[in-house]
Amino acid sequence: MILNKPKFLLLLLFAVFTPLVAGANLVSVHHVHDTILSQKGIDVPVEAGVADDSIAAGSYVFRQIDRANAILNEFVTTNYERDGENLDSLSSVSRSTEDVEELIVEWGLIELTVTDVNSFNFQMSASGKFILDWGDETVQEINKTDTSDTAYSHSYSLNGTYTVKIYGHATGYNTGVSTAAISFNGSTNKTSITGINGTFDGMFSSVAGVSPRFTGTFFGCSGLTIIPAELFGRIGSPVTNIFYNTFSGCTGLTNIPMGLFSGLTGAPAVSMFSGTFTGCINITGSIPSGLFGNLTGAPAASMFYYTFYNCGGLTGIIPSGLFGNLTGAPAVSMFSGTFTGCINITGSIPSELFGNLTGTPQYGMYSSTFFNCSGLTGTIPAGLFYGISGAPASYMFSNIFYNCTGLTGEIPSELFAGISGAPAINMFQGVFMTCTGLTGEIPSELFAGISGAPAANMFNSTFYECTGLMGSIPAGLFSGISGTPAGSMFSNTFASCGGLTGSIVSGLFGNLTGAPAINMFMGTFDSCNNLSGNLPTGLFSGISGAPASSMFFNTFSGCINLTGAIPAGFFGSFTGAPADYMFCQTFYNCVSLTGIENGIWDLSGVTNTSVSNIFAYMFYGCSNITSASPSLSSTNTMKLYEYFTNYATGISGPFKNCINISDYALIPNAWK
């Protein structure tokens, strides 16, 4: 049996075959043979003793179909002459060209090289006729009539390397979104698969408009090094999870071949390329243009979710038409993590990479899309998200450009121009985090459309360590924010932005009122060592209520050029039990501050409860403060160290190295 010829697309013998009958005109033997030869290049000789111009009876045509299939596939695959009684006569008017087309098919063949094994197994759910050649002269014929996920296994008499050939033609597929037509990820020897040849086309092609799934088919097959370009052939239309995790964990793969998914056409489907190449750390070369076939239409949820996650060996530019011709409304997590960890992809981000999307933002739609793509260069295209408009969605842009250190130029002022409405959780978390190559000033209108009550993590680490950004923080950057604080809402927003200059303006954070939230201003200006001028009166005065953990942890830590006195009314009024780290390191090493005005807060309603590190290192290193240490409030002159006698000092005291504070000698050692 010869099984080494690569098989390609489903061949339809009579795709352009004229009807077998036209009125009362019957098809001749000569016409049948000529059609086979001219359309498919298959020379099926006229049988001995049969005249060319004789009428082709049904049994004769069936027999020629069987012979054509045998020539095409290099062994007998059908016996329509025997089974033809269940079909209409081919010489009958009722038999249409469309019916005939499905009778001749080229089977698909996949050859797997398995190394150093004494057994091999895999799963297959597709129904149809298949032949398994286990590579040791054991051949197994399967006539599978259902689509249950079935295991097939074989044991070898000797440990060794074998070529397992799977040959056949599917007639139906399991409709479960997590069930692959065929899968090797459950094989006890999946890491021993070291080679693939051939194609699934013809074996697992679209059946009655239903496409097969290859969900996790080669998941964890770390011994694979090369994928045949024709592996999937003419797949059909996308279906949910069609290539979900297909090659995930294939750490031995070295390239992605051009045209791998070129047979895919139609509208995107949910999770269709989710995790497809996740963890393929040794794939090198560029992402092929047109890799994902001919996709058209509206995006689907998670369609490219972490597709190339941690493919650190990929190089070259991202093709501008990589995702086809996408149009319509955004979908949940549609490009979440797509290129995360692709540290060696280079070049600029194509301005039309994401097609022509219009509509309302969706959860996680661009979350971590280019996360840690440090090799990307050039400016961020101003119109990258043009057409997306409406109310913010949770995680919509979180970490999208995280650590894209090679991106340069200014942040386009219109980048998020279409986004308007109430904040959503994590909406701009870490968007430009550690984008050290970005320059220029932060556009004042960057978030102009955002208005309403704060949401957790909404601007957490948005500009963290953007060391190239310059100029003052725009006065109206967050002017639309109003209402009750949310957890980590401005945590580390400008942390380590050493290039920012000028003073912090009053009203920067909009109109915040209500109870504190955990981490709400943790590290907001940490290490912004070129911010200068006096702190504005009332910056946090509207926030009042029960203290929250780490609410002002490290807020101005390392702001060595802030000057003047901390103004009265800078913080609001707090009542109830203190919280861990609530004022820990708030002004740590702000060496240019010169005073603390009376009444910077009202802590008279806070209980004297033992809680760790509530003021730890709060004024550490503020050696130029010459005023007295702060009191509980403007009207209660009791000092912190006099009132909070149960303060637990797990870390050195709040006034350490504040040697010029006027009451320094009175401060207990535990507080300094």
pLDDT of 354-412, one tens digit each? 999 999 999 999 999 999 999 999 999 999 999 999 999 999 999 999 999 999 999 99
Q: For residues 557 and 526, is the Cβ–Cβ distance under 8 A?
A: yes
| The pLDDT value given to residue 19 | 39
Torsion, Cα 510 514 520 524, to 10 degrees, reads 40
Write the burial class of residue 290 (CB in 10 Å: 0-12 exposed, 13-18 middle, 19+ buried).
middle
**Which 3 state secondary structure label does DSSP give 171?**
strand
Element (H, E) at 603: strand 602-606
Judged against a pLDDT cut of 70, whether residue 543 lies above it is answered with: yes
**Which 3 state secondary structure label does DSSP give 58?**
helix
| The pLDDT value given to residue 483 | 98
pLDDT of 176-208, one tens digit each? 999 999 999 887 889 999 999 999 988 998 888
- Range among 12-21, 196-205, 449-458, 640-649 rated most confident: 449-458
Judged against a pLDDT cut of 70, whether residue 321 lies above it is answered with: yes
Torsion, Cα 311 409 414 525, to 10 degrees, reads 90
Gap between the Cα atoms of 80 and 377, Å rounded = 61
Residue 405 structure tokens:
């250190």
Mean pLDDT taken over the chain: 89
Band the pLDDT of 81: cuts 50, 70, 90.
low
Judged against a pLDDT cut of 50, whether residue 338 lies above it is answered with: yes
pLDDT of 122-146, one tens digit each? 999 999 999 999 999 999 999 999 9
87-91, 213-217, 298-302, 403-407: least confidently modelled range: 87-91
Judged against a pLDDT cut of 60, whether residue 26 lies above it is answered with: no
Q: Helix 29-40 crosses helix 58-73 at what angle (to 10 degrees)?
A: 20
Beta strands (DSSP E) in 29-68 are none
Q: For residues 395 and 423, is the Cβ–Cβ distance under 8 A?
A: no
Residues written for the chain: 672
| The pLDDT value given to residue 31 | 67
Mean pLDDT of 581-593: 97
Beta strands (DSSP E) in 146-211 are 150-172, 182-183, 193-199
Cα separations in angstroms, 469 against 118, 363, 422: 61, 28, 27
| The pLDDT value given to residue 178 | 94
Neighbours of 389 (CB within 10 A): 17
Strands 533-534 and 562-566: parallel
Residue labelled with tokens 């698969």: 193
**Among candidate residues 631, 558, 619, the one with its CA nearest the CA of residue 594:** 619
pLDDT of 269-315, one tens digit each? 999 999 999 999 999 999 999 999 889 999 999 999 999 999 999 99
**Among candidate residues 288, 298, 299, the one with its CA nearest the CA of residue 262:** 288
pLDDT of 230-275, one tens digit each? 999 888 899 999 999 999 999 999 999 999 999 999 999 999 999 9
Residue 627 structure tokens:
């005023």
Band the pLDDT of 48: cuts 50, 70, 90.
confident
| The pLDDT value given to residue 664 | 95
Write the burial class of residue 646 (CB in 10 Å: 0-12 exposed, 13-18 middle, 19+ buried).
exposed
- Residues whose CB falls within 8 Å of the CB of residue 107, separated by 6 or more in sequence, listed in order: 7, 73, 77, 167, 168, 169, 202, 203
Gap between the Cα atoms of 344 and 597, Å rounded = 52
Beta strands (DSSP E) in 499-588 are 511-512, 533-534, 562-566, 573-576
| The pLDDT value given to residue 13 | 33
Judged against a pLDDT cut of 60, whether residue 45 lies above it is answered with: yes
Alpha helices in 137-249 (DSSP H): none
Residue labelled with tokens 């698909």: 108
| The pLDDT value given to residue 559 | 98
Q: Which residue would you say has higher pLDDT here, 251 or 79?
A: 251
Strands 127-133 and 139-144: antiparallel
Q: For residues 523 and 491, is the Cβ–Cβ distance under 8 A?
A: yes
Judged against a pLDDT cut of 50, whether residue 212 lies above it is answered with: yes
pLDDT of 438-490, one tens digit each? 999 999 999 999 999 999 999 999 999 999 999 999 999 999 999 999 999 99
Band the pLDDT of 86: cuts 50, 70, 90.
very low
Neighbours of 387 (CB within 10 A): 16
- What is the layout of strands, in order, in the sheet containing 533-534? 533-534, 562-566, 593-596
Gap between the Cα atoms of 277 and 157, Å rounded = 35
Band the pLDDT of 609: cuts 50, 70, 90.
confident
**Among candidate residues 208, 224, 217, 265, the one with its CA nearest the CA of residue 244:** 217
**Among candidate residues 162, 248, 154, 232, the one with its CA nearest the CA of residue 198:** 232
Q: What is the CA radius of gyration of the chain?
A: 35
Gap between the Cα atoms of 127 and 124, Å rounded = 8
Name the DSSP class of 443.
P
Residue 170 structure tokens:
């599917």
| The pLDDT value given to residue 106 | 73
| The pLDDT value given to residue 502 | 97
**Among candidate residues 435, 275, 415, 451, the one with its CA nearest the CA of residue 370:** 435
Cα separations in angstroms, 99 against 13, 72, 87, 104: 11, 19, 10, 10
- Residues whose CB falls within 8 Å of the CB of residue 196, separated by 6 or more in sequence, listed in order: 110, 111, 112, 113, 224, 226, 227, 228, 231
Q: For residues 418 and 385, is the Cβ–Cβ distance under 8 A?
A: yes
Q: For residues 648 and 613, is the Cβ–Cβ distance under 8 A?
A: yes
Phi, psi of 118 (to 5 degrees): -120, 0
Gap between the Cα atoms of 53 and 57, Å rounded = 12
Band the pLDDT of 550: cuts 50, 70, 90.
very high
Residue 462 structure tokens:
């948005």
Judged against a pLDDT cut of 50, whether residue 572 lies above it is answered with: yes
Residue 59 structure tokens:
């049994």
Per cent of the chain over pLDDT 70 is: 87
Neighbours of 78 (CB within 10 A): 21
Band the pLDDT of 90: cuts 50, 70, 90.
very low
Element (H, E) at 101: helix 97-101
Element (H, E) at 265: strand 265-266
Judged against a pLDDT cut of 50, whether residue 22 lies above it is answered with: no
| The pLDDT value given to residue 423 | 98
Write the burial class of residue 364 (CB in 10 Å: 0-12 exposed, 13-18 middle, 19+ buried).
buried
Q: Which residue would you say has higher pLDDT here, 107 or 302?
A: 302
Strands 108-124 and 150-172: antiparallel
Band the pLDDT of 74: cuts 50, 70, 90.
low
